[in-house]
């Protein structure tokens, strides 16, 4: 209940001398709250529409001159303002300063533009749902192309630009041997073989996919085993010997020397095992030196 009052004054002449007397009466008036004017507010629908966020987010009614920040979520865009964030103000009539705050899902530039496909029209940064563009495939991508359509943030293309396979990648100390070709005679799958004494890092074939070859195998180097330094006290080899990658060899001590004493055995070790790893001999924990001499 609201209360208000007003003054009601009357004039009265006294004593024939024209003296003026002012009489004021105070009158109280009751005003019903229902008759008071309701202040207009702006409404924000909560929860927000998909792809849109509001700040502050804990209210949905705002007074005139109050502001709200509308933000587009990731993958969404306001095509009217061409921004991802807009500020709107509540007006006296209960309406917002802008009604075009909707954020729409969009498609970016088509993947492969300039590399796999050519778009005759000017390429935009963002496309609306339902937008279409014409494209043609660029050589060596051999398909003709077509019309792409933006749907829910993704491009849908009736024809993919698939590349024709280039020549198989070469390898050092080897070459490809077996091959498979497609109907146009393009090599699509190959197997490799290394030169003598070299070893493939893996066997099998590799296949060209979407115009690209995976990494081919390597030809791993053999190890050359020749006469060791005299201080090693190893038996001299009659000539150079080679050991392929991954292969093990046994070296022998000179007569009267041994490598080390084998624990829990009455026998001394006179043989040393080495392994080839891409051109490098691996000795394990001990260098192959026969440093102990029989007494």
- Which of the pair, 133 or 120, is modelled with greater confidence? 133
Q: Is the pLDDT of residue 220 over 90?
A: yes
Residue 33: the pLDDT is 45
Domain residue ranges of the chain, discontinuous segments joined by +:
2-35, 108-156, 174-220, 223-293
- Indicate whether 260 pLDDT > 90: no
Q: Where are the alpha helices (DSSP H) in the chain?
A: none
The answer, as to whether pTM is greater than 0.75, is: no
How, if at all, do strands 280-282 and 271-277 pair? antiparallel
Assess whether pLDDT exceeds 90 at residue 217.
yes
The burial class, CB within 10 Å (0-12 / 13-18 / 19+), for 31 is: exposed
At 30, phi and psi to the nearest 5? -90, 130
Confidence of residue 56 (pLDDT cuts 50, 70, 90): confident
Which residues are CB-neighbours of 196 under 8 A, at least 6 positions away?
none
Name the band, by pLDDT with cuts 50, 70 and 90, for residue 6.
Answer: very low
**What is the pLDDT at residue 168?**
92
Most confident of 1-15, 19-33, 182-196: 182-196
- The mean of the pLDDT values for the chain is 77
Phi and psi for 246 in degrees, rounded to 5? 85, -10
CB-based contact 12:23 (threshold 8 Å): yes
Q: Which helix (H) or strand (E) holds 25?
A: strand 19-31
> According to the model, what pLDDT value does residue 114 have?
67
Residue indicated by tokens 């009158």:
27
- The tokens describing 45, both together, are 């629908």
| CATH architecture of the domain covering 174-220 | Ribbon (2.10)
How far is residue 205's CA from residue 7's CA, in Å, rounded to a whole number? Answer: 106
The predicted model gives 135-148 an average pLDDT of: 78
pLDDT of residue 259: 81
Residue 266 pLDDT level (bands cut at 50, 70, 90): low
Q: Name the architecture of domain 108-156.
A: Ribbon (2.10)
124-135 tens-digit pLDDT: 888 888 888 888
Identify the H or E element spanning 223.
strand 223-225
Is pLDDT of 230 > 80?
Answer: no
Tokens matching residue 148: 């792409």
Pair 208, 189: CB distance under 8 Å: yes
What per-residue confidence (pLDDT) applies to 7?
A: 45
Q: Return d(Cα 123, Cα 113) in angstroms, integer.
A: 9
Length of the chain: 295
Is it the case that residue 173 has pLDDT exceeding 70? yes
Answer yes or no: same fold for 108-156 and 174-220: yes
End-to-end CA distance of the chain: 122
pLDDT bin (cut points 50, 70, 90) of residue 2 is very low
- Point out which residues pair with 7 in neighbouring strands: 26
Query: Where does residue 160 rank: exposed (0-12), middle (13-18), buried (19+ CB within 10 A)?
Result: middle
Q: How many CB atoms lie within 10 A of CB 232?
A: 18
User: Given its phi and psi angles, is residue 4 left (phi above 0), alpha (psi -120 to 50 degrees) or beta?
Assistant: beta
The better pLDDT of the pair 170, 161 is held by 170
Residue 92 and residue 64 in contact, taking contact as beta carbons nearer than 8 Å? yes
């Amino acid at each position: 209940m609201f209360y208000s009052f007003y003054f009601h004054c009357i004039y009265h002449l006294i004593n024939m001398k024209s003296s003026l007397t002012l009489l004021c009466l105070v009158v109280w008036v009751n005003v019903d709250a229902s008759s008071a004017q309701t202040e207009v507010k702006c409404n924000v629908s909560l929860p927000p529409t998909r792809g849109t966020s509001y700040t502050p987010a804990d209210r949905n009614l705002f007074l005139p001159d109050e502001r709200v920040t509308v933000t587009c979520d990731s993958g969404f865009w306001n095509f009217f303002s061409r921004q991802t964030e807009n500020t709107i103000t509540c007006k006296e009539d209960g309406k917002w300063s802008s009604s075009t705050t909707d954020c729409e899902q969009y498609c970016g530039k088509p993947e492969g533009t300039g590399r796999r496909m050519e778009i005759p029209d000017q390429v935009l940064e963002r496309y609306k749902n339902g937008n279409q563009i014409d494209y043609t495939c660029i050589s060596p991508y051999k398909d003709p192309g077509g019309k792409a359509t933006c749907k829910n943030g993704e491009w849908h293309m009736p024809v993919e630009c698939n590349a024709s396979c280039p020549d198989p990648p070469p390898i050092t100390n080897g070459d490809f041997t077996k091959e498979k070709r497609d109907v146009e005679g393009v090599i699509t799958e190959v197997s490799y073989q290394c030169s003598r004494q070299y070893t493939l890092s893996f066997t099998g074939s590799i296949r060209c996919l979407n115009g690209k070859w995976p990494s081919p195998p390597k030809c791993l180097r053999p190890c050359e085993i020749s006469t060791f330094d005299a201080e090693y006290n190893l038996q001299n080899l009659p000539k150079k010997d080679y050991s392929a990658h991954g292969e093990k060899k046994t070296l022998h001590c000179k007569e009267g020397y041994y490598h080390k004493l084998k624990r829990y055995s009455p026998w001394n070790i006179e043989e040393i095992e080495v392994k080839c790893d891409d051109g490098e001999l691996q000795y394990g924990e001990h260098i192959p030196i026969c440093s102990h001499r029989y007494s």
